[in-house]
Amino acid sequence: MSEPITVTDAADPRLSDYTDLTDVELRRRREPAEGLFIAEGEKVIRRALAAGFRMRSMLLTAKWLGVMGDVIAETDAPVHLVEPALAEQVTGYHVHRGALASMERKPLPTAADVLDGARRVAVLEGLVDHTNLGAIFRSAAALGMDAVLLSPDCADPLYRRAVKTSMGAVFSVPYARLDPWPDSLAAVRAAGFELLALTPSGAEDFTVAKSHLLPRAALMLGAEGDGLTPKALAAADQRVRIPMAHGIDSLNVGAAAAIAFYAVNHG
């Protein structure tokens, strides 16, 4: 049981986890370095806790005390009660969802850890857009992908916007970094996975590639715009494409991922 502490000064060091949340560049560096991430809103906070993340502290306005009552009753983390204006002053935006939590990151598993026992994995290269990344995790969870592997230059799945867009799926779908890139793809292949690169220039239609019959499949997707790099394409076993209407060059990477995740599980 934590007793809410009223805080009235934006410079209070107890609020430092929540400062400048709109400064993407700052937060992108700071959060992994300090081993924290921010969960925003009641649902996301509950999902993070359910997934076993430890809460460092919570920041909320009075109207959320009731809604979060059971969470407050069960935590030892400090709970900071602030006026809405102070919340905005600290974070830099109007906190619609009323409650924020600073959560402690867990050590990231290795690629070998997440591949163990997996049959269907996504491999993402250069996904720097947090909204796309979150959407892909959400689809991965819904469509039964076992894990996500990220190239070193992919964005952080625990960044606030990615967490929100994923509806908390970043907490439930195991993920790991593949480093060095793309050389460590060899370890994915060695674990028994066929590496399928999704690309509009793919030789084979995804519909006829029969990917759903593969015992283990790794679906490689590249960044919005450029797609997979030549070196990533070269490291793949097959290049497959989603059949598209005449004259259209590409799908949004989130749409392509959803179709690929569906097709690899259902043919």
CB of 97 to its own copies, least distance (A): 15
d(CA 167, CA 164): 5
Residue 250 as a binder of its own copies (CB under 8 A): the answer is: yes
Indicate the residue among 181 and 206 with the shorter CB distance to its own copies: 206
Site for its own copies in 129-148 (CB under 8 A): 135, 138-139, 141-144
Q: Map residue 89 onto helix, strand or coil.
A: helix
24 touches its own copies (CB under 8 A): no
Cβ atoms < 10 Å from Cβ of 44: 24
Query: Is residue 50 a contact point for its own copies (CB under 8 A)?
Result: no
What's the closest the beta carbon of residue 87 comes to its own copies, in angstroms? 24
Q: Is residue 259 close enough to count as binding its own copies by CB under 8 A?
A: yes
Residue with tokens 């996301």: 44
Q: Find tokens 């996504």 and name the residue.
A: 122
| Residue 69 found at the interface with its own copies (CB under 8 A) | no
Is residue 157 a contact residue for its own copies (CB under 8 A)?
no
Nearest to 161 by CA among 104, 93, 219: 93
User: Residue from 58, 214, 236, 263 that binds its own copies (CB under 8 A)?
Assistant: 263
In terms of CB distance, is 128 or 244 closer to its own copies? 244
CB of 237 to its own copies, least distance (A): 22
**Three-class DSSP category at 63:** helix
Residue 127 as a binder of its own copies (CB under 8 A): the answer is no
Query: Are the C-beta atoms of residues 231 and 266 closer than 8 Å to each other?
Result: no
Q: Is 67 in the site for its own copies (CB under 8 A)?
A: no
Q: Of 7, 42, 260, nearest to 143 (Cα)?
A: 260
Question: Is 60 within 8 Å of 100 (Cβ atoms)?
Answer: yes
Given a contact cutoff of 8 angstroms between Cβ atoms, the answer to whether 215 and 192 are in contact is yes
Residues at the site binding its own copies, with contacts judged by CB under 8 A:
135, 138-139, 141-144, 169, 207, 242-245, 248, 250-252, 254-259, 262-263, 265-267
